[in-house]
Amino acid sequence: MAKRKTKFVCQDCGYESAKWMGKCPGCNNWNTLVEEIEATSTKNRHTFSGVSSSNGKPEKISSIKSQKEPRVTTNLKEFNRVLGGGIVAGSLVLIGGDPGIGKSTLLLQVSAQLADKEMPVLYISGEESTRQTKLRADRLGITADLLYVLSETNLLNIASQIDQIKPAFVVIDSIQTIYREEVTSAPGSVSQVRESTSELMRIAKTSGVPIFIVGHVTKEGAIAGPRLLEHMVDAVLYFEGERHHTFRILRSVKNRFGSTNEMGIFEMKEEGLREVLNPSEIFLEERSQGAAGSTIVASMEGTRPVLVEIQALISPSAFGNPRRMATGIDHNRVPLLMAVLEKRVGLMLQNQDAYIKVAGGVKLDEPAIDLAIAISITSSFRDQPTRPEDIFIGEVGLTGEIRRVSRIEQRVQEAAKLGFKRVICPQKNLDGWTYPKNIEVIGVNSVQEALEVGLAR
């Protein structure tokens, strides 16, 4: 008979302890350790290596033949690009996002498109019955014959159905509802999520069937469960957006078969998600012409340049401690750039409240947006608008210099395609490439030079 032992597992980070503690030593969170009973029988103990367990011999890397991974494409070009060109056979992909953001809708649409291509698809829902899934399918207009729907949470039964149907594509919605009978903890616990994901990975790698699993997120926005979960899968996608806005952003933060930080934009309609092929036009369509504090920046999201508007509002503070608020960018970047403007340009911003926002609900985190933020702050402070046909690109250093950025050619080409006339960018980025004929590229070395060019009327 198997021995049983009791352990306490943190539900946030997976830390294990022999006794209960109020504060987890691993993640420093309170009241996250939950008691679990683990069977430690040595018989039939599951071991997973991620690949075949056969005894192989090491090979010289020069003698291994390289081959391009075959990919299956869907009708959603945005979805294909975020994955690196399509779905890779045998891959395990994790999709996370806030409740109600559209994860199940997206995967149901993808499943229907693959089923229409004569590929059997198995959609497994642990949160809805088959009739509830059918209601969503009717709303989306899905009538694919090769789309199979299963309402099941037992991983053993799920593996049996995958073996019987032999689908070309599997969706698990969601991993927090799946459980293994050998693990005594409740579904959604660290042990259940870890063991269930390991078994799904074994199925994907041995059968070559791509599996998409949906993961719940915590209130901080991270995927619930152990951090090991994101290390085990081949790709991690986040589905972001405001529930009060129609636009949704599918962002790749890990991808073994493509570039990371790719972004696909969708619009939520009554009949489902519709892809947005030119997001720059969407983000700029409501821009106010001639408004002080508004600038346009060409930001890179993976391999795609996206033009977005940065707005700044600078107003005198009524308190001794001015407010610094930012939406869509790192809030620590605002006081840093304001300090540079005070020291290097001579702007008196110590008694000013600063509110910075990226229009459209996009989150930008690359240093190339520094110059646009600095120009927006100065424009609002002086109440002097910038030219509506100008683009600002560049990283701002603490000494006031403008540092070079990556992929300047793609940024300028996107600006020229949308009808902008001037690009103010780092001087160091001007060498080694040819500018488009219908746009003027101006190189600057400091913030002071950029202000003289960008705010000159």
- Give dist(CA 160, CA 217) in Å, integer: 28
What pLDDT score was predicted for residue 237? 93
* Averaged pLDDT for residues 103-126: 95
Tokens 């979805």 — which residue?
79
Residue 114 has pLDDT above 60, yes or no: yes
Residue 226 has pLDDT above 70, yes or no: no
- Give dist(CA 21, CA 380) in Å, integer: 52
Q: Coil, helix or strand for 335?
A: helix
* Averaged pLDDT for residues 238-256: 83
Q: For residue range 295-323, list pLDDT tens digits in order.
A: 999 999 877 899 999 999 999 998 889 99
What pLDDT score was predicted for residue 309? 94
What pLDDT score was predicted for residue 50? 40
Tokens 């504060």 — which residue?
23
Q: For residue range 361-376, list pLDDT tens digits in order.
A: 788 989 999 999 999 9
- Give dist(CA 395, CA 111) in Å, integer: 42
- Give dist(CA 266, CA 274) in Å, integer: 5
Q: Coil, helix or strand for 186?
A: coil
CA distances from 95 to 98, 101, 107, 159, 374 (A): 11, 12, 9, 20, 35
* Averaged pLDDT for residues 138-166: 93
Q: What Rg value do the Cα atoms of the chain yield, rounded?
A: 26
Q: Which residue has the higher pLDDT, 337 or 62?
A: 337
Q: Which two tokens stand for residue 141?
A: 């207009």
Q: Which two tokens stand for residue 399?
A: 């000494």
Q: Coil, helix or strand for 305?
A: strand
Instruction: Out of 3.90.1720.10, 3.20.20.70, 3.30.230.10, 2.40.30.10, select the CATH number for domain 282-454.
Output: 3.30.230.10
Q: Coil, helix or strand for 358?
A: strand
CA distances from 398 to 182, 337, 342, 363, 367 (A): 57, 8, 11, 23, 13
Q: Which residues lie below 8 Å from residue 318, measured CB to CB, with a gap of 6+?
A: none
Q: For residue range 388-406, list pLDDT tens digits in order.
A: 999 999 999 999 999 999 9
Q: Coil, helix or strand for 395?
A: strand
Percent of the chain with pLDDT over 70: 92
Q: Where would I find the beta strands (DSSP E) of 160-219?
A: 169-173, 211-215
Where in the chain are the domains? 4-39, 72-277, 282-454
What pLDDT score was predicted for residue 362? 82
What pLDDT score was predicted for residue 68? 75
What pLDDT score was predicted for residue 118? 92
Residue 123 has pLDDT above 50, yes or no: yes
Give yes or no for a contact between 403 and 446, defined as CB atoms under 8 angstroms apart: no
DSSP class per residue in 12-75? TT--EESS--SB-TTT--BS-EEEEEEE--STT-----SS--S------TTTSPP-PPPEE--S
Q: For residue range 167-222, list pLDDT tens digits in order.
A: 999 999 989 999 998 887 888 888 888 889 999 999 999 999 999 999 888 766 67
Annotation: binding site: 97-104
- Give dist(CA 293, CA 115) in Å, integer: 49
Residue 242 has pLDDT above 80, yes or no: no
- Give dist(CA 297, CA 362) in Å, integer: 12
- Give dist(CA 34, CA 32) in Å, integer: 6
- Give dist(CA 84, CA 82) in Å, integer: 5
Q: What are phi and psi of 120, to 5 degrees?
A: -65, 135
Q: Coil, helix or strand for 139?
A: helix
What pLDDT score was predicted for residue 52? 45
What pLDDT score was predicted for residue 55? 57
Q: Which residues lie below 8 Å from residue 221, measured CB to CB, with a gap of 6+?
A: 98
Mean pLDDT (the chain) is 88
Q: What are phi and psi of 140, to 5 degrees?
A: -85, -5
Q: For residue range 19-71, list pLDDT tens digits in order.
A: 899 999 988 888 888 887 765 544 444 433 344 444 568 989 888 887 777 89
Tokens 């933060």 — which residue?
253
Annotation: binding site for ATP: 97-104
Residue 417 is inside which H or E element, if any?
helix 408-417
Q: For residue range 404-452, list pLDDT tens digits in order.
A: 999 999 999 999 988 999 999 999 999 888 888 889 999 999 999 999 9
CA distances from 30 to 23, 24, 26, 289, 364 (A): 4, 6, 11, 50, 32
Could you give the angle at which helices 155-165 and 190-207 cross, rounded to 10 degrees?
Answer: 10
**Tell me: domain 72-277, CATH 3.40.50.300, correct?**
yes
User: What one-letter code names the amino acid at 191?
Assistant: S
